[in-house]
Structure 1
């Protein structure tokens, strides 16, 4: 099930905090396969944030939800549902 923008951003923040507070003396060594998964999850969260920022910039330039949805490959309603809460001026 897709996560909301808030969940994705929070997950990326959690991963960043985990790396910032990394204590190798109390950590479990991850396999290269587990690290690949962790890296992919972080990249996904980062890319979702970039998309959300781009949507925010588009809305600031009065680009319609219909046009944003088209570019995202979804409907205006789906785009609005996913990204509108992220936008400060439309929250």
Structure 2
């Protein structure tokens, strides 16, 4: 079974011996890990929303405008993630 980075971090944080390190509370590091996970979820939600918008007829120009980037940049970054075989970043 493949472990996730978050799981590895949780295991590492749980294994820390507060007597042997400077900090006594890993709550702040857990908050960093949680925020990192939330970023990952937000990025996936963004990709899903872009795919849905494009599949329902929104142009790359409109999508780029909403993202604050050019049509070309939006297409280059997200088109390959739609499973159409184009773009630099194709999902496996």
Q: After TM superposition, is the score higher than 0.5? A: yes
Gaps of at least 5 residues in structure 2 are 17-24, 87-92
**CA offset digits 1:2-27 (Å, max 9, x no partner):** xxxxxxxxxxx9346x28xx769xx4
Partner of 1:37 in structure 2? Answer: 32
CA RMSD of aligned residues (A): 2.5
2:18 aligned with 1:28: no
Of structures 1 and 2, the larger Rg is shown by 2
Contact 1:15 1:42 in 2 (8 A): no
Partner of 1:14 in structure 2? Answer: 4
Q: Across the two proteins, how many residue pairs are aligned to each other?
A: 74
Normalised by the length of structure 1, the TM-score is 0.66
Gaps of at least 5 residues in structure 1 are 1-12
CA distance, structure 2, for counterparts of residue 90 and residue 58 of structure 1 = 18
Say which structure is richer in helix.
1
Normalised by the length of structure 2, the TM-score is 0.66
Partner of 2:71 in structure 1? Answer: 76
C-alpha distance 61-48 of structure 1, shift in aligned 2 (>3 A): same
Query: Highest relative contact order (Cα 8 Å, sep 6+), 1 or 2?
Result: 1
